[in-house]
Structure 1
Amino acid sequence: MAATLACDATTAFTGRVPFPYARATGRPPARAQARGAPAESGRAAAPKASTLPGSPRAPRRRRTRLEMQDRLIFLIGSPRSGSTLTARMLGAHSAICAPPETHLLTPLAHLGFYGTVEKAPYDPIITRQAAHELVRALPGGEEDYLAALRACSDAVYERLLAASGRELLLEKTPAYALVLDFLAKLYPKAKYLVLTRHPLAVWSSYVESFFDGDHEAAHRNNPLLERYVPAIARFLRERPVPILPLRYETLVQEPDAEMRRVCEFLGIAFEPGMVEYGREGAAQPKAAAGLGDPITVARESRPTTKSVAKWASEMARSPGQLEQAREILDRLADEDLETWGHPRAAILEQLGAVTPGGPPRKRSWNRYALERRLLVRLRKNIHQNALGRVVTRVRFVCDVLLR
């Protein structure tokens, strides 16, 4: 498998089959073929057929092979924006393969040339410098570098698609919204579906789903809106690639019309099963399993509007979260909120209509919710309490043993 992936990446980048791979598979290297090398049986290579018009042995015209990016769909959206639901709907189409989140391209975007990391088992500063020197040394510069990265990801995507027997591959990884400039360079001809949702609905869902209602811990861990809203809004305004904007609220209220619009953009026929994605016998009932919403989408069989205004009642039970929401809004630009389809004035009016109070939040007791609740409790003040000291000591011992 590793040899096959390496061969595919090398072949896509250079147009040649690596010789060690050729020896292992019986496929002669491209250079030998170009020189008219003799076949393994020892017979001389057959002379080239005439290319003159009317020649009885004129070569057949080569079939045009679609590039992987011609079959690739990116679903761009922040965490908790409804991307898992959208992926389930798209994966229910007989032509679309919707695998779990791959997180394949984020590391490629941080190899040093476009972005880097702060901590790694290597020196990120030297790696960044080396990456720039490497690109300068390539004959085609940045284009050669992109072609090499594309060959790597193409090899993975092509195997996913071939195993599914479908025509199009859906890539849904929310973290890609933070590397959109790189993505547009790597796959400029792919189709991009860009999903937005009411910012406070995104934030409330994030707080409730991953931090058991602890809005302060959620923001310390990840200032989600401050990171994703500007990045996605700029992408929507600049439109460097083929883009179809989608709004979560419209998607769940008018799923048929929205899926027809998506299918027209993708150049495929609409299938009613896309809306009834969870029905028995659907084209891909387990589409987009894995990372993402582990509970809500799997519980429903079609889009529901239950979560459209849920954020208001959730924030009403937490005056601190209401105040935090106003502070977050102050850090977001009017232009970005407008691009998301939720102007500041409209959001502030909705916030003003929220009356603090209401019944306590009904807790979920499924396995996933219990795991998240336990993690939140254990992580609280972990660097100051006795448990944190024990974990730090155990980690030190493990590092010594495994290095």
Structure 2
Amino acid sequence: MSGDRPIIVVGCPRSGTTMLQLMLHAHPRIAIPPETRFVLDAYQARRAFGDLRNPANRWTLARWIVDRQQTRFADLGVDPEQAVRAIVAGAPTLGSALAEVFRLYAARFGRPRWGDKRPAYLQNLDMILRLFPDAQIVNIVRDGRDCVASLKEMSWHRDDLYTTVAAWARAVDDARRAARRLGPGQWYQLRYEDLVADPATELSRLCDFLGETYDPAMSEPGRVARVAVPAHKTWHERTHGPVTTQRVQSWQQRLSPAEVALCETALGGRLRACGYELSGASRVGGGELLRYGWSAAPHRLAPAKRGLTRAAARLRPEPLARRVPHARSPEA
């Protein structure tokens, strides 16, 4: 039943994932929290918690989630002791334990359905789907030149231009592979530019995929930004205002001619495949392409690494998946 399935929002950083999170959070049945830092970390550290059939080990996991500042649990506004009790009393799998936290977040707003958003999930869908096998994945794509321009301006962004350009290429490639693997019942993709130009139409189509009914409140995400975006994330200040096309193609003013040339030389085929026209900028020289190639090399190796991880998982199966509980009220 689609109404019970987690909703996972992914995309390249600065592609509109936060705006989409808020649009979904504005739906009367859905709650999507601010970004956390405990899902992927918990998966990586899963063996340290021991056998979760032991309630004491579930307690240890719960305290690890709620007590560590790095998890950003405090941004959820969920009572930590209530979360600990829910995890200890819940099903003995990592996916179930993590789901309890998101369920409690949804209960804050009286919503029956929960989800999560983090750009990094796009690179780690194998992990996400081992935890939440029935999740519906929603990927948002934005013009790579606008993503690069926006990332350059972020105070927290430390990568050079070549690595930043390569990150958008990887996001597109990861999305292509995911679409082929998951199919239309579990994977949905939309473009930032289409979403801001006609929110009602694009969100109606998204709701059809999710098995939900479109609500007009979704087209006014700024109304819920105050409660769903932490105040310290000042780089998301635009999410507090109305949906606008103002930032579409803003790369034309925010990137230098040399930066545009690198983006279009390195990303041209992917940009066109995603429906974006090229400006006709001259191609960069071989030295620039070589520097880009070095930055992109780890991305090209990532699929092989993920394949090895999947093979290892098949050889050593673990009880990780969320167990779907019997129907209960959001406040339970």
The within-5 A match list for 1:125-274 is 148-210=93-155, 217-219=160-162, 223-239=166-182, 242-274=186-218
Candidates 226, 229, 254, aligned match of 1:286: 226
Q: Is the 8 A contact 1:211 1:217 kept in 2?
A: no
Question: Is structure 2 residue 258 aligned with structure 1 residue 320?
Answer: yes
Q: Please say if residues 11 and 122 of structure 2, whose CA atoms lie closer than 8 Å, have aligned partners that are also in contact.
A: yes
Distance 1:324 1:338, change over 3 A: closer
Larger radius of gyration: 1
Q: For residues 252 and 222 of structure 1, do their structure 2 counterparts lie closer, same or farther at Cα, with a shift above 3 Å needed?
A: closer
Measured after TM superposition, the shift of residue 210 of structure 1 is: 3.7
Structure possessing the higher relative contact order (Cα contacts under 8 Å, 6 or more residues apart): 2
Q: Secondary structure at the match of 1:286?
A: helix
Following TM superposition, by how much is the alpha carbon of 1:270 offset from its aligned partner in structure 2, in angstroms?
1.8
Of residues 5, 9, 29, the one that matches 1:95 is 29
Query: Does structure 1 conserve the Cα–Cα contact (< 8 Å) formed by 2:5 and 2:134?
Result: no
Q: How much does 1:285 deviate?
A: 4.5
Partner of 2:228, secondary structure, is: coil
Partners of 1:221 and 1:305 in 2: CA distance: 23
Question: Residues 297, 153 of structure 1: CA spacing in aligned structure 2 closer, same or farther, 3 A cutoff?
Answer: same
In 2, are the aligned partners of 1:80 and 1:206 still within 8 Å (CA)?
yes
Q: Which has the higher helix share?
A: 2
Q: State the 1:148 CA deviation.
A: 2.1
8 A Cα contact 2:103 2:113, kept in partner: no
Q: CA offset at residue 327 of structure 1?
A: 5.1
Q: Provide runs of 4+ in structure 1 moved above 4 Å.
A: 218-223, 336-339
Alignment CA distance shift 1:272-1:209 (3 Å): same
**1:84·1:288 contact (CA, 8 Å) conserved in 2?**
no
Per the normalisation by structure 2, the TM-score is 0.62
Post-superposition Cα deviations, 1:237-259, rounded to whole Å, max 9, x if no partner, equal: 32256122111111011111111
For residue 231 of structure 1, report the CA deviation from its aligned partner: 1.4
Matches within 5 A, 1:96-111: 96-111=30-45
Using the alignment, how far apart are the partners of 2:149 and 2:209 within structure 1? 31
Could you tell me how far 1:107 is from its partner in structure 2?
1.3
Go from structure 1 to structure 2 and tell me whether the alpha carbon gap of 1:245 and 1:220 turns closer, same or farther (over 3 Å shift).
closer
Aligned to 2:100, what secondary structure does the other structure show? helix
1:73 maps to what in 2?
A: 7
Q: Can you give the 5+ residue segments of structure 1 that lack an aligned partner in the other structure?
A: 1-65, 114-145, 354-403
Structure 2, unaligned runs of 5 or more: 48-90, 283-332
- TM-superposed deviation, 1:79: 0.6
Q: Report SS of the residue matched to 1:297.
A: helix
